[in-house]
């Protein structure tokens, strides 16, 4: 494997960070005027099995002590999201909810106190439920107007103190998961048409918000962040190589191509048109897409896939992937025999991380920001009162090391944010699937004292931040 001899890697001022999202940590799901989001309603449906968003890690009431812990860890950045329904409880309210706005003022005050750079996501899976009930959410163009209004309020209020904004978290994943957008249509063809119309509206909304941010907050940088799920060819058979390329295009690059080049790439148009899913464009949509340019690309990285050619006439196209996407005539997924997986089956691939960084940077020549990277497991509180998560240390260490190599090879990385700063409600598997550097002492249904206990990985990452690399750790 090609190694870069330069050792140093990370530049001065590199933002070593950690990440969370509002509905997964805050709790206080109906407090101080907050409305219900689709993330709340989806989680409340499974309250009997999993922890829901009602309390979560109760960051809403613990943010001060949590930020003290962030300072102890030495974090340079904290990537978090604003809960849309704290600001506009119904999504289409005339006036924003002052109590909701005040909460994030206080969070920003605390971060400022310790010199931690906020990286703020505007929309992380939590669209107001009311907008879905009123007009179908992203299926309707009015949603663009309501999202832009919400973003404007955030820029007005926090624009003078936030330098990094993220528009939409993982649009490419969200659009494939019915529950994240509350898609209720049952007819398969209509459902796909709705899905792609929603995607189109999100692209427009993202573009409008980028332009707005550039106008209102000239000193700030803004970009989207997506779920980067790259594929290797299962073999060197040309059809498999093409399958991996198709998968990369239809999972990842269609999204970044639209963001960066401002138009639907031909391969994506063909795919949508062949299936009768091409969305309706209104007059001016092309100009909206073409008129916005992100300052950087954010991405979340956890795993890679291996793709092989999938025959057109395959009977049951197995959904082995997170995005529930297999395209007969193009690709499907197989297990990669060279990689180990987490207990949740997520294939661990630090070298793939390096490759992803290189590919993204070479394709777009834009700075990148890693907004999530981490490992979800059933951590156990040991008898000595600690959490010995060596597996997470290994995961982080190997990914940081591969990121360093990519940086040495010229990739401009703005920030690396571990998912997650603390244990939180997983978007798919409740509280038992833990990602945090800080353990939250609660179970799915027993809140206990919600004590905060730094894990061994916390102390490992503390050293990484202090010395600016994982070398020798
Ligand atoms: C990303 C999301 C996060 C987070 C993470 C881990 O897709 O942006 O919100 O949940 O993945 O996923 P999960 O919680 O499903 O294990």
Q: For 139-157, what is each residue's pLDDT tens digit?
A: 999 999 999 999 999 999 9
Contact 21, 53 (CB under 8 A): no
Q: Which residues pair with 347 in a beta bridge?
A: 341
Nearest CA to ligand 1 atom 14: 426
pTM of the predicted model, to two decimals?
0.96
Helix ranges (DSSP H) in 321-455: 350-364, 390-408
The Å distance, Cα 48 to ligand 1 centre, comes to 21
Nearest CA to ligand 1 atom 3: 427
Q: Give the number of the atom of ligand 1 that is nearest the alpha carbon of residue 169.
A: 8
The Å distance, Cα 376 to ligand 1 centre, comes to 9
Q: Which residues pair with 453 in a beta bridge?
A: 439
Q: How many helices (H) and strands (E) does the chain have?
A: 17, 13
pLDDT score, position 320: 62
pLDDT score, position 8: 66
Q: Give the number of the atom of ligand 1 that is nearest the alpha carbon of residue 374.
A: 6
The Cβ-side half-sphere exposure at 284, using a 13 Å CA radius, reads: 4
Q: Given the DSSP bridges, would you call strands 305-308 and 332-334 parallel, antiparallel or unpaired? A: antiparallel
pLDDT score, position 5: 46
pLDDT score, position 315: 66
3-state secondary structure at position 78: strand
The candidate with the shortest Cα–Cα distance to 309, out of 390, 258, 247, is 247
Nearest CA to ligand 1 atom 10: 427
pLDDT score, position 329: 83
Q: Give the number of the atom of ligand 1 that is nearest the alpha carbon of residue 346.
A: 16
**Which residues contact ligand 1 via a Cβ below 6 A?**
21, 24, 169-170, 173, 227, 300, 372, 376, 419, 426-429, 433
Q: Give the number of the atom of ligand 1 that is nearest the alpha carbon of residue 426.
A: 14
> Terminus-to-terminus CA distance in the chain, angstroms?
22
The Å distance, Cα 1 to ligand 1 centre, comes to 31
The Å distance, Cα 55 to ligand 1 centre, comes to 18
The Cβ-side half-sphere exposure at 297, using a 13 Å CA radius, reads: 29
The Å distance, Cα 94 to ligand 1 centre, comes to 32
Nearest CA to ligand 1 atom 11: 427
d(CA 425, CA 444): 9
3-state secondary structure at position 111: helix
3-state secondary structure at position 381: coil
3-state secondary structure at position 215: helix
Helix ranges (DSSP H) in 58-167: 59-73, 84-87, 98-113, 129-135, 142-158
From its phi and psi, is residue 448 left (phi > 0), alpha (psi between -120 and 50) or beta? left
d(CA 30, CA 258): 36
Ligand 1 binding pocket mutation candidate from 300, 421, 422 (most atoms within 8 A of CB): 300
Residues involved in catalysis = 170, 372
d(CA 404, CA 373): 14
d(CA 255, CA 259): 6
Nearest CA to ligand 1 atom 2: 427
The candidate with the shortest Cα–Cα distance to 222, out of 235, 209, 233, 232, is 209
d(CA 346, CA 302): 7
Ligand 1 binding pocket mutation candidate from 50, 57, 324, 419 (most atoms within 8 A of CB): 419
Per-residue burial over 457-469, b if 16 or more Cβ lie within 10 Å, else e, is: bbebbbebbeeeb
The Å distance, Cα 121 to ligand 1 centre, comes to 14
CA distances from 310 to 247, 273, 315, 417 (A): 11, 20, 10, 35
Q: What is the pLDDT of residues 306-319, one digit of tens each?
A: 999 988 877 665 55
d(CA 346, CA 2): 26
Task: Write out residues in the chain with pLDDT < 50, as ranges.
Answer: 4-5
């Amino acid at each position: 494997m090609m190694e870069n001899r330069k050792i140093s890697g990370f530049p001065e001022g590199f933002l070593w960070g950690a990440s969370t999202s509002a509905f997964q940590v805050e709790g206080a799901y109906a407090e101080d005027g907050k409305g219900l989001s689709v993330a709340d309603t989806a989680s409340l449906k499974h309250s009997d099995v999993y922890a829901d968003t009602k309390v979560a890690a109760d960051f809403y009431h613990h943010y001060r002590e949590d930020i003290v812990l962030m300072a102890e860890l030495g974090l340079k950045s904290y990537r978090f999201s604003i809960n849309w329904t704290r600001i506009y409880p119904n999504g289409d309210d005339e006036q924003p909810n002052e109590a909701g706005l005040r909460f994030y003022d206080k969070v920003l005050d605390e971060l400022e106190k310790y010199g931690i750079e906020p990286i703020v996501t505007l929309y992380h899976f939590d669209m107001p439920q009311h907008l879905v009930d009123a007009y179908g959410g992203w299926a309707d163009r009015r949603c663009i107007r309501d999202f832009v209004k919400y973003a404007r309020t955030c820029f007005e209020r926090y624009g003078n103190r936030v330098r990094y904004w993220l528009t939409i978290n993982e649009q490419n994943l969200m659009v494939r998961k019915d529950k994240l957008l509350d898609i209720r249509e049952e007819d398969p063809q209509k459902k796909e048409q709705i899905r792609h119309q929603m995607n189109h509206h999100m692209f427009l909304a993202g573009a409008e918000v980028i332009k707005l941010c550039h106008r209102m907050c000239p000193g700030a940088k803004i970009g989207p962040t997506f779920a980067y799920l790259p594929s290797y060819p299962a073999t060197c058979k040309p059809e498999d190589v093409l399958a991996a390329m198709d998968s990369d295009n239809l999972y990842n690059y269609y999204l970044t191509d639209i963001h960066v080049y401002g138009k639907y790439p031909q391969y994506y148009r063909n795919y949508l048109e062949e299936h009768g899913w091409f969305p309706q464009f209104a007059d001016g949509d092309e100009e909206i897409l073409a008129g916005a340019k992100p300052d950087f690309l954010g991405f979340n990285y956890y795993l890679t896939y291996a793709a092989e050619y999938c025959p057109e006439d395959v009977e049951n196209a197995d959904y082995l992937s997170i995005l529930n996407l297999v395209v007969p005539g193009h690709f499907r997924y197989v297990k990669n025999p060279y990689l180990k997986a987490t207990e949740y089956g997520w294939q661990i691939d630090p070298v793939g991380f390096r490759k992803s960084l290189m590919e993204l940077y070479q394709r777009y020549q834009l700075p990148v920001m890693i907004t999530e990277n981490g490992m979800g497991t059933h951590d156990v509180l040991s008898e000595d009162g600690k959490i010995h998560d060596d597996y997470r240390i290994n995961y982080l260490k190997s990914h940081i090391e591969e990121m360093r190599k990519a940086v040495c090879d010229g990739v401009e990385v703005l920030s690396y944010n571990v998912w997650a700063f603390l244990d939180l409600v997983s978007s798919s598997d409740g509280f038992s699937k833990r990602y945090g550097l800080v353990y939250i002492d609660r179970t799915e249904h027993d809140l206990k004292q919600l004590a905060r206990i730094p894990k061994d990985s916390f102390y490992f990452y503390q050293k990484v931040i202090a010395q600016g690399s994982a070398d020798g750790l």
